[in-house]
Amino acid sequence: MVKVEEQMQVMKDIAIEYRDTKANLNEALFEVSESEIKNEFKVVLKDFFSRYIKILTAAEYKNEILELRVEGHTSDSWLNARSEEEIYLKHMQLSQNRAYEVLSYCYSIEDKTVVNNRIWLQNILEPMAWHFHN
């Protein structure tokens, strides 16, 4: 019985850590309820995406990749929302906008590898919208 309780506590701790880390990450990428990418994140994204595409377009991987998802995520609340429906719709719009902004920024990076693979990127980049589920 004690072992089960310990494992349950470990799982709760992991869930709390994930939630807190995710919240901190979202704050680093976007302002609350906004879809414009923060300048600090653009610097990180440019460096990461260029190197990531260089790896993905290597001969041993390029023809194996069918989809590269760019996901927009949101939190579990919305200030001044009057109903659950309004919260849902606003979060879906925000997550779609965030996915689009990241996809658009990455696609537009003026790096040799990115530029040379834009046609390939058009075929595999998929924006996805996610919102918080209770």
Q: Which alpha helices (DSSP H) does the chain contain, by range? A: 2-29, 39-56, 59-62, 84-107, 112-116, 118-124
Q: Give the C-alpha distances (Å, rounded to integers) separating 36 from 10, 15, 40, 100, 128.
A: 36, 28, 12, 10, 16
State pLDDT tens for residues 60-109: 999 999 999 998 888 766 767 788 888 888 888 999 999 999 999 999 99
Radius of gyration of the chain measured on its C-alpha atoms = 18
Question: Does residue 4 carry a pLDDT above 60?
Answer: no
Write out the two tokens for 121.
């990127």
Cβ neighbours of residue 15 under 8 Å, at least 6 residues apart?
none
Q: What is the pLDDT of residue 14?
A: 56
Helix 39-56 and helix 84-107, axial crossing angle in degrees, nearest 10:
60
Give the domains, in start order, of the chain with CATH numbers: 2-129 (3.30.1330)
State pLDDT tens for residues 20-60: 554 455 567 888 788 899 998 899 889 999 999 999 999 99
> Among 3-17, 34-48, 76-90, 114-128, whose mean pLDDT is lowest?
3-17
pLDDT category at 125 given cuts 50, 70, 90 is very high
Q: What is the pLDDT of residue 66?
A: 94
